[in-house]
Chains A and B, each alone.
Chain A
């Protein structure tokens, strides 16, 4: 599930800063991710914060169908993320399915391009599902230590 497990990654898991990235699609998953950061869901209580700049992020939350146009951009974003960093595919489209599957502009699922650490399916996944997924990821990293 998690690549390159290390002590640094376990330290990162206590303060996970996320950067939502939209690869294409209808924008529904992106809005659900942003809803997680609102006062109603309060991700900050788990130590998760929004990073406006990819250089500060510890995890990219990629949502939507990967279009040909955004393929290079997503690779660039992943390169610019300071290590250790995690990749999370959010939504059915990012997993290679969904209503845009087989479309002319859709290239590949996210895991065919980047090493994905966590999959959160749903069309769109509810904020509770995103929070649950991130919680499981953090828990998994911490359990590796024990």
Chain B
């Protein structure tokens, strides 16, 4: 019984403190700060203070919360809140795989991929019922944009699964990469990483390559009528995804993040490099409209990920 209680306490500690809710919240605020600071430095600005993202979220939580439309009873808050819960679960599973690779369950590899999609899709589902066309139209466009980007992401995620000989557990994938090197070192792994990295921008609700038209048409649409607590939920979900997606990409393609002893430094460097790369690429200058972004996701990006899967079948 004592052993059972100890295990329960250990799991509760993992769920609530580390790498659970408290860690995810603190990390998401740090990721938001890193994103805004990187953008500021690229624009030759000083940028926000370290605690500014936290102040923003806290302020939104205490502000008056008015639903966008009185005809909608709970949907403006319910769906974003479900998205937030999905994002928190997703983040907890990813970071638990980082710090405790052997504690996963059978099928957690697929659970991670599906939860990453559920968080973003649930978040915008509420606005599809919005009678205001600006919001529901934005939601529709986001769905189109998201699903076209998710296709290459799903296909590319199959490459580490195939290379590791059908690894259903994250622990098996970590063990494979420890023995045979990172997935990205192979030709198929490199192509898959490139496709998954580019598609991940949409999962985080960033506009890749600074697509201003897409940013306005699709990504700003869903939270267009939110304010107060509902906007805080939207922002927090996005920040959690921003904090977690780089870790997932590293787990899948870049050999994982061992944190024992001196191995922690290269792991932290890898994480910082991927996180900063998201912000830097987001602020680059080429511009694409929504229709061109959709064609880009369905065309070259999907082709790239299919090539990666074919190469992995051939053993490259």
Note whether A and B form a binding pair.
Answer: yes
Contact of A53 among B45, B55, B58, B224 (CB under 8 A): B224
Partner of B55, one of A14, A42, A45, A82: A14
Interface string of A33-59 (1 = CB under 8 A from B): 000000100101101010001011010
A68 at the binding interface (Cβ < 8 Å) = no
Interface presence of A83 (CB below 8 A): yes
- Pairwise interchain contact A42-B40, C-beta atoms closer than 8 A: yes
Flag if B62 contacts A11 (CB, 8 Å): yes
Q: Map CB proximity to A onto B58-72 as digits: 1 under 8 Å, 0 otherwise.
A: 110011111000000
Write out the residue numbers on chain B whose beta carbons fall within 8 Å of the beta carbon of A11.
55, 58-59, 62
For chain A, the count of residues having a C-beta within 8 Å of the partner chain is 18
Interchain CA distance A39-B228 in the complex, whole Å: 27
CB of B43 within 8 A of CB of A45, answer no
Chain B residues contacting A15 (CB-CB under 8 Å) are: 52, 55-56, 58-59
Contact with B along A98-112 (1 / 0, CB 8 A): 000000000000000
Contact indicator A45/B62 (Cβ below 8 Å): no
Q: B179 within 8 Å of A by Cβ? A: no
Query: Is A12 an interface position by the 8 A CB rule?
Result: yes
Contacts of B58 in A (CB 8 A): 11, 14-15
B59–A82 CB distance below 8 A: no
Name the interface residues of B199-223: CB closer than 8 Å to any CB of A.
Answer: none
Q: How many residues of B contact A (CB 8 A)?
A: 25
Task: Encode B32-57 as 1/0 by CB contact (under 8 A) with A.
Answer: 00001000100111111100100110
Q: How far is the CA of A83 from the CA of B59 in the complex (A)?
A: 11
Question: Is B231 at the interface (CB under 8 A from chain A)?
Answer: yes
> At the interface, yes or no: A136 with Cβ under 8 Å from chain B?
no
CB neighbours (8 Å) of B40 from chain A are 42, 44
Question: Using Cβ atoms and an 8 Å threshold, which residues of chain B touch A53?
Answer: 224-225, 227
For chain B, residues 4 to 51, give those with C-beta under 8 angstroms from any C-beta of chain A: 36, 40, 43-49
Q: Take A8-B63, A15-B56, A55-B66 as given contacts and tell me if A42 and B227 are in contact as well, using a CB distance cutoff of 8 Å.
A: no
Greatest chain A CB density within 10 A among B49, B58, B59 is at B59
| Contact (Cβ within 8 A) A42 B47 | yes
Q: Find chain B residues with CB under 8 A from A14 CB.
A: 55, 58-59
What A residues does B49 contact at CB under 8 A? 45, 47
A82 & B228 in contact (Cβ 8 Å cutoff): yes
- Cβ-neighbour of B46 out of A42, A49, A56 (below 8 A): A42
A77 to nearest B CB, angstroms?
14
* Complex Cα–Cα for A84 and B62 (A): 9
CB contact list, B236-278 vs A, under 8 A: none
Contact yes or no, B55 A39, CB < 8 A? no
Tell me if A45 and B66 are in contact (CB < 8 A): no
Q: List 22 A-B contacts (CB under 8 A).
A: A11-B58, A11-B59, A12-B63, A14-B58, A15-B59, A39-B45, A44-B36, A44-B45, A44-B52, A45-B45, A47-B52, A49-B56, A53-B227, A55-B66, A55-B225, A56-B231, A58-B63, A82-B64, A82-B65, A82-B227, A83-B63, A84-B64
